[in-house]
Amino acid sequence: MKRAVAFIILALGAASAGARGPNGALDVIVTPNNGVPVIVAPGEPFDALLTERASLRLTSEGAARALDVEWTDGLPGGFVRARCSVAKTAAPGAYSLEADADGRKDVNVRAVYVRKEFPKTYTFAHLTDTHVGSDRHPRASEDIMTAVIDAINEAEPAFVLITGDVTENGEMDHFRSLLGLMDACTVPTFVCPGNHDRQSDHYERVFGPRAYAFRFGLDGYLAFDTKDYRIADDLDTQIADLQLLRREIKSVRWSIGFTHRFAMDMGMRTQLILFVDDPLDHILFGHYHRANKKDEDEVPWGDTGLTMTPAGIDGAMRFMQVSPRGVEAGPVQRPARTR
Amino acid sequence: MSPLTLLSVALLALATPSEHVAFVSGTEQEDLCVCVIDVATGDVARVGSGVRDGAPAWSPDGNRIAYTTAKDGGLRVRIVDADGSNPAGPEHANEWNRQPVWSPDGTRIAYTAGEPPAEHIVVYDVATKAEARWGGELAGLSSPAWVGNDQVVAIGRIPRKGGIATELFSVTSDEATALLPDRSAAGSYVEWAPRPHPSGMGLAYESNDGGDREIFVLLFARRIVIDVSNHHAADWNPVWSPDGKRIAFESFRSGRRGIFSVDPERLLVTPVMADTVGDHWAPTYSPNGEAMAFVSNRTGDPELFVVDLAGGDVRQLTDHAGPDLAPAWRPERSK
């Protein structure tokens, strides 16, 4: 059955070759997309960000379902927001979000996931620093990531967090390869940028916002960018979004941040928002290409827990368990096929 | 017209003084450059290095600008005339140098040097071109602000049970001492953004004392602290008006990041620029206190705007693809 689902999703990806722009860049639909998807229960709403108003529908396995939409116009930059209602009868699974705008069709595959149940205890996968397009490992980065995605599909976690440096140097070809690899994943994939991804502006063109939040059942997740961390207090335009996003997930059981790096010189304002005034319960990141070491790795402001996962260039990843006890890191593992 | 209806009045001319605002502008972070815009004409001059420039700060006489710019993987402080000529600056002992602020007499510049947890306050003598470490050997000092010409207030990182906190420190050439009594028994507070009153009689700063982030005023003579912004939404980045009678600050009390001001004696908060569509931040008063420049992303990219504080009319100053940030209004120039 899992193979069948994977096949369907792969087929959807292939059938929607016109999705995104020719380079893999986003078109009419900015979010949700396959790096910033939504997970929603039947009958619940979700927000989509678009460049213009459009006729919207969800599609899966060849069937299309039109969406009722409430529009908000005039967002900064001329964007519009669509509050979409998912039908109470919608079947669980992965959906593409399709838009018809003034004769143009846009398709974001793996953008919307419908779930009936959000268990109190669940697992998610943490993958980071995949450096797709690099020659850092004797085997091709694409082969290794394929093996990792296969292992994730086998384990069926609730979703995957991929915390930056997803490409070697932010080239569009690397992002295009990454999109193809991610679309073999049968669970939602949430991405945030790393310093390597932001050597150009392609990250925003492929995935849209660099900071966003989502809820999974009782818990809230917050993605943010830490590339320009040292001068962030002077110039960062992300901090207002962080304050608002942190407030958006204030009333949750566990608040969990995911970013590319944590460092004490990452910008004081970001630290005040996320670790001082309303501390996250846990933060996940990569960047350092190693796992946590006792004593020297900690968020010094208070009680925020920390999980650092080694780079995925050799297939390293781990599963995290979230339960009423908290957020617990599983051991770093490497799928056998990556060795 | 209410200032809450920001951009509908973008084409209105304002009776603002013919003055200048320094800011940073670019197409991306890597090419940000310090620029100076004539508020009346909109003419823009590039005066910086154009390599990750930031934090422009006018000398008190309005003739020079200190700013930070990238060098060798770090940041250095540069000083230029208002037209970009005569570039100069310290030969730094540290790779990272941030947050430059001029002493009131314009003879020195204080900045944060080094990297956490070893960052400290360095003072540069403009005449002798010498750097000196202030505050003794205490590490973890940052965000300096001058109180008089021989003392800066800075944020000091201190150990607390279960982690760290920050406190306000008085920093001189020899030592650093805590400004407030030890409150560790009552809780762990994190202070930031100290801004001395124009007369030097007190200090505005932000703190999570009380739970959420608020603007406080410390009166030096009476050694009392007053919460002047008191709201459950976050309040940040206080900025004194030139006459010292109001404090502008950023707040999320209207839903998004907006600019408010408070009369610290009457504790009366009024909105300056706030709406639910875009963010408004980085306020800087004109020298006569009648206008304020700020940044807004209401039209997409962060752009500079100016608001007439008496009438509420708003005008967009910049309009180009890429961010315009960190405005600093030029002081009245010395004759």
Quick: pLDDT tens for A2-13.
Answer: 334 333 333 333
3-state secondary structure A248-293: HCCCCCCEEEECCCCCCCCCHHHHHHHHHHCCCCEEEECCCCCCCC
Residues of chain B with pLDDT > 70, as a percent, come to: 94
The Cα–Cα gap between A40 and B78 comes to 52
Query: In terms of pLDDT, which residue wins out, A256 or A104?
Result: A256
Chosen for mutation from A49, A243, A270 (greatest number of chain B CBs closer than 10 Å) is: A243
At A339, the pLDDT band (50, 70, 90 cuts) reads low
* 8 Å CB contact between B65 and B54: no
Read off the amino acid at residue B147. V
- How close is the nearest chain A Cα to the Cα of B18, in Å? 26
Listed in sequence order, the residues at least 6 apart from A323 whose beta carbon sits closer than 8 Å to its beta carbon are A120, A121, A122
pLDDT of residue A6: 38
**DSSP category for residue A161:** E
The Cα–Cα gap between A160 and A317 comes to 10
For chain A, positions 181-240, list CB contacts with chain B under 8 A: 201, 228, 230-231, 234-235, 237, 240
CB-CB under 8 Å, A76 with B278: yes
For chain A, positions 15-74, list CB contacts with chain B under 8 A: 74
Q: What is the torsional sign of CA A198, A204, A210, A215? A: negative
Query: In terms of pLDDT, which residue wins out, A216 or B165?
Result: A216
Pairing between strand A104-114 and A38-40? parallel
* 8 Å CB contact between B22 and B68: no
- How close is the nearest chain A Cα to the Cα of B335, in Å? 31
Specify which residues B8 forms β-bridges with: none
CB-CB under 8 Å, B326 with A234: yes
Residue A79 has pLDDT above 50, yes or no: yes
Quick: pLDDT tens for A255-265.
Answer: 999 999 988 77
Listed in sequence order, the residues at least 6 apart from B230 whose beta carbon sits closer than 8 Å to its beta carbon are B214, B267
pLDDT of residue B236: 94
**B187/A contact by beta carbon, under 8 A:** no
Chain A residue with the nearest C-alpha to that of B257: A240
**B73/A contact by beta carbon, under 8 A:** no
CB-CB under 8 Å, A231 with B98: yes
pLDDT of residue A73: 93
**A120/B contact by beta carbon, under 8 A:** no
pLDDT of residue A28: 95
Read off the amino acid at residue B206. E
Q: What is the torsional sign of CA A135, A138, A139, A145? A: negative
Quick: pLDDT tens for A198-255.
Answer: 888 899 999 999 999 999 999 999 999 987 666 656 666 788 999 999 999 999 999 9
ipTM over 0.85? The verdict is: yes
* 8 Å CB contact between A115 and A150: no
Query: In terms of pLDDT, which residue wins out, A294 or B133?
Result: B133
For chain A, positions 76-105, list CB contacts with chain B under 8 A: 76-78
**B281/A contact by beta carbon, under 8 A:** yes
CB-CB under 8 Å, B28 with A76: no
Chain A residue with the nearest C-alpha to that of B302: A237
Average pLDDT, rounded, for chain A = 89
Number of A/B CB contacts below 8 angstroms equals 86
**A269/B contact by beta carbon, under 8 A:** yes
**DSSP category for residue B313:** -
pLDDT of residue A243: 94
At B9, the pLDDT band (50, 70, 90 cuts) reads very low
Quick: pLDDT tens for B45-64.
Answer: 999 999 999 999 999 999 99
pLDDT of residue B12: 38
pTM: predicted TM-score of the whole model, two decimal places:
0.91
**Which residue from A78, A228, A276 is facing B190, i.e. has the nearest CB?**
A276
pLDDT of residue B11: 32
Residue B1 has pLDDT above 60, yes or no: no
Phi, psi of B152 (to 5 degrees): -120, 150
Q: Using a CB-CB distance cutoff of 8 angstroms, which residues of chain A are in contact with residue B24?
A: 235
Residue B160 has pLDDT above 90, yes or no: no
At B276, the pLDDT band (50, 70, 90 cuts) reads confident
Chosen for mutation from A79, A229, A234 (greatest number of chain B CBs closer than 10 Å) is: A234
Quick: pLDDT tens for B180-238.
Answer: 887 777 777 899 999 999 999 999 999 998 788 999 999 998 889 999 999 999 999 99
